[in-house]
Chain A
Amino acid sequence: MTATNLQKAASPSSAEPIIKAVDVHKNFGNFHALRGVNMSVQPGEVVVIIGPSGSGKSTFIRTINRLEEHDKGTIVVDGIELKDGQNLDAIRREVGMVFQSFNLFPHLTVLQNVALAPMRVRKTPKAQADKRALELLERVGIAEQAHKFPAQLSGGQQQRVAIARALAMDPKVMLFDEPTSALDPEMIKEVLDVMKGLAGSGMTMLVVTHEMGFAREVADRLVFFDEGNIVEDTTPDEFYNNPQHERAKAFLSKVLGH
């Protein structure tokens, strides 16, 4: 950790971290995907995670809502430790996730996609859930598409619906797993704009992305993964201007070189 980072980590508030991962390990068969990851995230922080493919960055954020079970170490989200026998749904209610491939429910309309979880999980009455879903669709700029099916929307629109769907549960944390990687270039901006708005509203966000511009503009912290561990944890500017680790330097020269 650099000095800048320590300063940064202490700055937002010295409250309890909303996510605390200690010595997290994960194996896929013989592949050691996560090798003792430590990370704390304060409420309201926007953390961008970058790194080469296979470095464990996606696996790590998937352990935070237990789509992957970690083999060793502890993860505490909003005061609840993730382990067998815990009420996982309680944690998943508080942690929204946006996927690379959108994963909208194709047999439900856009509105139903957004209103389903509040109705089923939070037992919100239908009228109220629909009203809130429309507000969220308004916020991501696609209220007029509410009664269409996902396959009738463009990729960028689908991803914005996916963001609205996650927000409908009023999560405390939002996880983004390469949200723009499957999009055509002209649609990336509309999704990033929504994410910037969300960051501005004070949402705690963990974002795995290759969008360097987004990272520099929005992130409080930038975390660089390599071979299953965090090798740099710093501010975006510090990372670009003064990368410490060899792998980070090599990665940057490749990403910025084209």
Chain B
Amino acid sequence: MPRSTYQQLLAVLVLLAVGVFTFLRVRAGFEANNITLDWSIFSKPSPLTKGTYLTTILIGMLLTIRLALIGIVFAMLLGTLVGVSRLSQNPVVSRVAAAYVEFFRNTPLLVQIFFWNFGVINVLPAPIKNWLFDHSPEQWAVIAALSVYTSSYIAETIRAGILSVHKGQTEAAKSLGLSGSDVLGRIVLPQAFRAVLPPLGSQFLNLTKNSSLASQIGVAELFYYGTQVQSYTFRGFESITAITVAYLVLSLTITFFLNLLSRRLALPGR
């Protein structure tokens, strides 16, 4: 057998041993503390929502998806705008953009969620405020906080992407007479996005998982309902496991689509 086959075999054996050991330890721990797992709770009717406790978890998951998708769209728009502004020739524009990044990147997201929910929303003009009160204002506060917070990281990522595009690209585009917005939008940004797609994807995942903080202002998303299920059923392990699996499914789905996108955007011959 070639050497690499031995190494792979060894790795599998070590992994297997660690797995078996962990499983036995956990089971022994459960037994010692008289804990028995009962997954049937998820098929029992839920007082929280319609349907079973599983339905409750799924309803929470649906809102998490909504927060994440809207958040990602806004975070990308804002992040691209701020990232491009940071590289502006105009010193006022670039400094305002830098201040934006430093402010929102260096304060905790939970604080920002409270800031939007208890601060900003209350001082908005009456028509907007009235509209918001009919359209779950906490959700919009969370979307605002998630988008703005994540956009500060995305801005830095986009800036790095723009800087990674070779200077000759801008020169060639300019020398053809393309306008400044065409040079940016058709030549520089398409290459910058391709270069930073993996770190951008990480920001999408962070935003999705960070949405769990919405539970702290009573937004009934996945984490909120998950912990409610725990309180109602006294089934901590089962509830947390369900929450964990649900977030994993979300994250891995996003990862799947990002991989698909990166394959679609890949340039032949490179």
Chain A interface residues (CB < 8 Å from chain B): 65, 67, 88-90, 92-93, 95-97, 99, 101, 103-107, 116-117, 120-121, 148-153, 162, 165-166, 169
Contacts and interface: CB of A to CB of B under 8 A. Distances in A.
Contact of B178 (A95, A117, A149, A153): A117
Given A67-B171, A101-B168, A107-B190, A166 B176 contact: yes
Contacts of B172: 97, 99, 103-105, 162
Given A107-B194, A121-B177, 12 more contacts: A89-B179, A101-B166, A106-B270, A107-B190, A121-B176, A148-B268, A150-B269, A151-B268, A151-B269, A153-B269, A169-B176, A169-B177
Contacts of B268: 148-149, 151-152
A121 B178 contact: yes
Contacts of A149: 267-270
Contacts of B176: 92-93, 96, 116-117, 121, 165-166, 169
- Among all A-B residue pairs, the 9 with the closest Cβ atoms: A151-B269, A152-B269, A103-B172, A117-B176, A103-B168, A93-B177, A97-B175, A92-B177, A151-B270
B169 interface: yes
B25 interface: no
B187 interface: yes
B102 interface: no
Interface string B227-268: 000000000000000000000000000000000000000011
B186 interface: yes
Contact of B169 (A88, A105, A117, A165): A105
Given A99-B168, A103-B169, A120-B182, A148 B269 contact: yes
B44 interface: no
Contacts of B171: 67, 97, 99, 103
Nearest to A105: B187
A53 to B, nearest CB: 18
Contact of B186 (A95, A116, A148, A150): A116
Contacts of A107: 190-191, 194, 267
B174 interface: yes
Contacts of A104: 172
Interface string B200-223: 000000000000000000000000
Contact of B179 (A65, A101, A116, A120): A120
Contacts of A148: 268-269
A128 B77 CA distance: 34
B267 A92 contact: no
A120 B178 contact: yes
Contacts of A88: 174
A121 B183 CA distance: 11
Most chain A beta carbons < 10 A, residue from B173, B177, B187, B191: B177
Nearest to B181: A120
A65 B178 CA distance: 13
A153 B267 CA distance: 13
B175 A96 contact: yes
Contacts of A117: 176-178
Contacts of A152: 268-269
Nearest to B171: A67
A103 B171 CA distance: 8
Contacts of A150: 269
Contacts of A153: 269
20 contacts: A89-B177, A92-B174, A92-B176, A93-B177, A95-B175, A97-B172, A99-B168, A101-B166, A103-B172, A104-B172, A105-B173, A107-B190, A107-B194, A116-B178, A117-B176, A117-B177, A120-B178, A121-B176, A148-B268, A166-B175
B166 A103 contact: yes
B191 A106 contact: yes
Given A101-B168, A107-B194, A120-B186, A65 B175 contact: yes
Contacts of A97: 171-172, 175
A33 B171 CA distance: 19
Nearest to A107: B190
A118 to B, nearest CB: 9
